[in-house]
Amino acid sequence: MATYKYLLNMENHGPINRLVKELSTKIQENEAILANISRSIDTKITLPQLPGENNKEKHQEQADSNKSDSLRALIDEKYLSKMDHVEQFEEVQNTRLRQLLIDNKALAELHKARCEQNKQFYRSYQGYEKLIQIVILPQLTKLVCDYNIEKITDLRQKRLQEKLALDEALWEKYVQYVANLDKIYHIVSETVEALQSVLDEPQVQRLEQQLLIVERLALVAKNGHTQLKRPQILSG
């Protein structure tokens, strides 16, 4: 049973293992993205120009806008497009600081949403794992055991029929052998009786010894033939 369970584990956990790997990869990707975004915001990001800034700030932003800020575009397009926290930080006068606070707030909510999503994925995995261990594996083990028992029974019955067929053929050969041996004995006996009148005594004695050997063989074969029972072929 342990062997069957091991095989079932190896054969049927493939989809679940793949799902777990996908979930783990997704979680790691999310965590890496959030960490990269947070690190870039803190150290490298160039915040976009907001309406209301003075000319000096605009001039500085225009000089900085010549630098490629792919991370800024990624944040705006994929993560912050549906998150607006401008009103929450209206009292902050420094536009850079205000943008940083908005981004941090949005990313915190994004991180919270992803964590909740990961928890749901993990609960789904636990549910599937419990279903496999409690319901699917026992039923699958029983089906495999029943199938193997049925195959073994059929194979045993087939081999038995083949063995009985061979026994039947061997029995027929044995019966024929006994009949031939008995026939040889009678032929030799009649030959010895016919030759006693024409052969000298030593030759007759040799024939009698040979006849005695054949007689003993025939006797042993007959005794075995009467004691043995003919094998019966079982009907399928």
Greater confidence (12 vs 126) lies with 126
- C-alpha dist (Å) from residue 166 to 157, 171, 172, 233: 14, 8, 10, 10
Greater confidence (96 vs 125) lies with 125
Can you give the pLDDT at residue 66?
A: 43
pTM above 0.75, yes or no: no
Q: 34 pLDDT exceeds 50?
A: yes
Q: 26 pLDDT exceeds 70?
A: yes
100, 47 Cβ separation under 8 angstroms: yes
pLDDT digits (tens, 9 = 90+) for 58-84: 555 555 554 445 666 766 776 665 556
Average pLDDT over residues 127-155: 88
- With DSSP H G I counted as helix, E B as strand and the rest as coil, what are the percentages for the chain, rounded to 5? 80, 0, 20
* 19 CA to centre of own chain: 17
Which burial class, exposed, middle or buried, applies to 46 when counting CB atoms under 10 A from its CB (0-12, 13-18, 19+)?
Answer: middle
